[in-house]
Amino acid sequence: MSEYVNAALAYARAVVAGDLVACKWTKLACQRQLDDLEREPSAEWPWVFDVTRAERPCAFIELLPHIKGKWAREGRNIALEPWQCFIITTVYGWVHRETGLRRFLEVYEEIARKNAKSTKGSGLFLYSLTADGEHGAECYTAATTRDQARIVFDDARAMAERSPGLRTHLGLAIMQHSLTVAHTASKGAPLAAEGSTLDGLNVHFALLDELHAHKTRAVYDVIDTARGAREQSLLWTITTAGTDRSGICYERRTHITKILDKVVIDDRVFGIIYTIDDGDDPFDPAVWPKANPNFGKSVLPDDMAAAARKAEAMPSALNNFLTKRLNVWVSGESPWMDMRAWDRCAEPSLRDLSEYHGAKAWIGLDLAQKKDFAALSIVFQHNFLELGADGVYAPVEKWCLSTRLYLNELAIQESGNAHLSGWARQGYVQVTDGDLTDFDVVADDLRALCRQFDVQEIAFDPALSMYFAGKLIEEGLPLVEITQRAIFFTPALIQVENLVLEGKLCHDGNPVMAWMVSNLVVKVSKFNELMSPTKERPENKIDGPISALMALGRALANEPSNTIEQGFVSL
């Protein structure tokens, strides 16, 4: 096995074992690779790890010279660090066992400034152009401006000028605004951010620099769609954190975190994030290597300490320190749930509620007819036998949550979520005919649950469902209006999160519900610190968690109230 793969595996094992300081996302990325290496090839898993393919780009990059700073003055070549070997060998080592084509088609790398990302990116750009075995390779660097895109390109051009072998052995021609290889009809160039001017590309390799600064998704989308004609085109994004959680960068970041959390399965995308963990003190030097794997190399401790002192003394400098030096996204919103804790609470037996007949229960109802889901959550308490520390089984009372989700067939067909149709086929979403979700199906389920359980309340939002609710009230169902305000949701958000973290809540393991829970972020008011559940973009559905919060919020309130301040009115 090569020195690069050995270094990569040693790094991954040290991170997972806790021997190297790393954040949770880095640990999960390393664990993903170690787990994948243990898998046997099959029809569902057609990938094998090719050590030779893994080491080639590493060996290529280490033949290139440094072109900036003291190492350039000393005439030194690039020497990859173990963390860099881990990323490169993982991306390039996995291939299809029959075709030999690369597994990964997209890479998302989020890391603090000064961690040699331009140096590595320039090396990968030159490798893809000259040594990746692709004829007619089109390789690009892209950013918000042509000047930004030229940073990586100009570094690559300078490396090429100081590497005669690229010209004599690989046929690289160096020009002011492009690099070409005549015998393979390949070219490389920088691209600007005007997405409308990028049509007609046939991308083999594209390096998107500082994606967080892209005000629109135009460049990403154009390059992404320009890869369809290539069998193993690679879109590589390297960025630091930013502030715009509604932009394309945070969208890609969210997708990566869900892959690492195993909420979403996407075997063709590799992602790694270097940042500090929630709860870390940003001014503690012990946590700085989490966001800076090149700490002590290109990231100098004295420079970091000076930036930290400035941020601590000047509030105006704090956000810049957090985003640029520690790779922390700065916003008034934060993720609600620890998804690993949520997954630990799964109890698939709750998909069959027949054994809980007669239990005192509460129901939450969040209705929508077109593009959003209709969601119904029922909660009740039940004693489970669990093995204690003394080795004796004892009953433990837990809150049980079961959620039903409804969506019309047109919304599923038009959804950009590739997993949704599969979830529907598996029965995790109840599909109704046409272009509007059929509320009669929801009403039938409500009636059935009221016959099966001792339902205390059915909490609903009157803004969307008064006519629907009126008919059920006439039938005697115990509907209760919930005004969806922060004053109601604040205690529910806190209490439900605590129940999950303490293992005192169990749910039916619906993967659509897990996806929705991972979408929910909490917006905290600057004036009274009240909390509101929200989502960062329209496609991030949260209807299921809203219905669960309504049900659990009422159940945990202990006794009904009819004050507006409590967020509801009894009917």
> Tell me: the pLDDT tens digits for 273-286?
999 998 899 999 99
36-40, 223-227, 469-473, 511-515 — which is least confidently predicted? 469-473
Q: Is the pLDDT of residue 226 over 90?
A: no
Check: CB of residue 54 under 8 Å from CB of residue 2. yes
pLDDT band at 559 (very low <50, low <70, confident <90, very high): very low
Report CA torsion sign: 241, 245, 249, 253: positive
**Encoding tokens for residue 31?**
């664990």
What's the distance, Cα to Cα, between the start and end of the chain in Å?
71
**Encoding tokens for residue 346?**
């799964």
- Contact partners, residue 241, CB within 8 Å, separation at least 6: 110, 212, 275, 322, 323, 327, 328, 329, 330
Q: Is the pLDDT of residue 223 over 80?
A: yes
Q: Is the pLDDT of residue 68 over 70?
A: yes
pLDDT of residue 237: 96
pLDDT of residue 199: 64
Q: Tell me the per-residue pLDDT of 285-340, one tens digit each, with 9 for 90 and over.
A: 999 999 999 999 999 999 999 999 998 887 668 888 999 999 998 765 667 888 87
Q: Is the pLDDT of residue 157 over 50?
A: yes
pLDDT of residue 524: 81
**Encoding tokens for residue 107?**
């890479």
Give the CATH number of domain 339-570; options: 3.10.20.90, 3.40.1190.10, 3.30.420.240, 3.10.20.30: 3.30.420.240
Give the residue-averaged pLDDT of 521-541: 83
Q: Tell me the per-residue pLDDT of 333-389, one tens digit each, with 9 for 90 and over.
A: 667 888 878 988 998 889 889 889 999 999 999 988 788 899 999 999 998 888 777
Contacts 24+ apart (CB under 8 A), 412-416: 414/371, 415/539, 416/539
29-38, 123-132, 476-485, 489-498 — which is least confidently predicted? 476-485
Beta strands in 303-348 (DSSP E): 333-335
Give the residue-averaged pLDDT of 458-482: 82
pTM of the model: 0.73
Average confidence score pLDDT of the chain: 89
3-state secondary structure 494-527: HHHHHHHHCCCEEECCCHHHHHHHHHCEEEECCC
- Contact partners, residue 284, CB within 8 Å, separation at least 6: none
**Regarding predicted confidence, which is higher, 121 or 465?**
121
pLDDT band at 563 (very low <50, low <70, confident <90, very high): very low
Check: CB of residue 477 under 8 Å from CB of residue 445. no
Length of the chain: 571
Helix axes of 511-519 and 543-555: crossing angle, nearest 10 degrees: 90
pLDDT of residue 562: 37
Contacts 24+ apart (CB under 8 A), 6-13: 7/80, 7/82, 7/85, 7/86, 8/54, 8/82, 8/85, 8/86, 8/88, 8/89, 8/90, 9/34, 10/82, 11/82, 11/83, 11/85, 11/86, 12/86
Query: Residues 281, 19, 86, CA angle at the centre, nearest 5°?
Result: 100
Largest Cα separation within the chain, whole Å, is 86
pLDDT of residue 158: 95
Give the residue-averaged pLDDT of 155-182: 94
Instruction: For residues 7 and 514, give the distance between their C-alpha atoms in angstroms, rounded to a whole number.
Output: 36
Check: CB of residue 191 under 8 Å from CB of residue 149. yes
Q: Classify domain 114-239 by CATH number.
A: 3.40.50.300
Check: CB of residue 483 under 8 Å from CB of residue 232. no
Give the residue-averaged pLDDT of 83-110: 97
**Regarding predicted confidence, which is higher, 308 or 473?**
308
pLDDT of residue 416: 67
Q: Is the pLDDT of residue 211 over 70?
A: yes
Give the start-to-end residue ranges of the domains of the chain.
1-103, 114-239, 339-570
**Encoding tokens for residue 18?**
């806790």
18-27, 223-232, 242-251, 318-327 — which is least confidently predicted? 242-251
Beta strands in 409-530 (DSSP E): 430-432, 454-460, 479-482, 505-507, 521-524
Most confident stretch, 177-181, 229-233, 261-265: 177-181
Amino acid at 279: G
pLDDT of residue 278: 85
